[in-house]
Amino acid sequence: MERFLNEFEDQFRAGFLPDLEQTLAKVQHEKVYACAFGTDSDWVTLFMAVNTEESLAAHISRMKEQGLCDSEEDEIYYRWGCSEYQYGEDTHFNHISRLLYATEEVQAYKDEIIRIIAKVVNETADDVFARYGQSKADITFFVSLSDDDLAEEIENQSVHHMTVPGLVSTFLKRYDDMN
């Protein structure tokens, strides 16, 4: 387990910063509000997805034109559903996905994987974001499961580890008015 976790951290650390900077360069004239790390219920894939206020507004507009967004609940889904995010398809976490896939019972390490992702995000200097006109303190970072009923639970757990407290409380209330 220790060898796997060390290798995961090394590979994630090596891939995160270049992918983050590449993505931030694409959106430097927009306002990033979320950065999610998506995986599946088996924890054998990993991708990074980023969304901006501008891309969210355009996406919601397109969805409304298609009749696919007609409620506040739909808009909340488009804001926080990382599969709807508009940036990040060029991330290079394929080598990490190969490592995850090759590891037996990798989902048993999910807490450690989240801890490592949070550690790397937290260690990323604020000036990396500032170079691209962003503020790290304005971005909600979280881990999500793309195909699992536990997604909200994982998102709520992980956001605490890598997001400033004011944004955490807002994120945790994202679905409160939907009932």
Nearby residues of 146 by Cβ (< 8 Å), 6 or more positions away? 38, 39, 40, 82, 83
Give me the residue spans of the domains in the chain: 2-178
Span 2-45, pLDDT tens digits: 899 999 999 999 999 999 999 999 999 999 999 999 999 889 99
Neighbours of 111 (CB within 10 A): 11
Span 47-90, pLDDT tens digits: 999 999 999 999 999 999 999 999 999 999 999 999 899 998 77
Mean of all residue pLDDT scores within the chain: 93
In 3-state terms, the chain is what percent helix, strand and coil (to 5)?
A: 60, 10, 30
Asked if residues 78 and 14 have their Cβ atoms less than 8 Å apart, the reply is no
CA distance 20 to 28: 12
pLDDT at 178: 62
CA distance 68 to 173: 23
Report the candidate in 145, 163, 131, 172 with the shortest Cα–Cα distance to residue 44: 145
pLDDT at 177: 66
Q: Is the per-residue pLDDT at 179 higher than 70?
A: no
pTM, rounded to two decimals = 0.94
Q: Is the per-residue pLDDT at 120 higher than 70?
A: yes
**Percentage with pLDDT > 90 across the chain:** 83
CA distance 63 to 46: 26
Report residue 12 as tokens: 């994630």
Report residue 99 as tokens: 């490592």
Report residue 103 as tokens: 């590891």
Asked if residues 67 and 32 have their Cβ atoms less than 8 Å apart, the reply is no
Radius of gyration of the chain (CA): 16
pLDDT at 146: 82
pLDDT at 20: 95
pLDDT at 1: 80
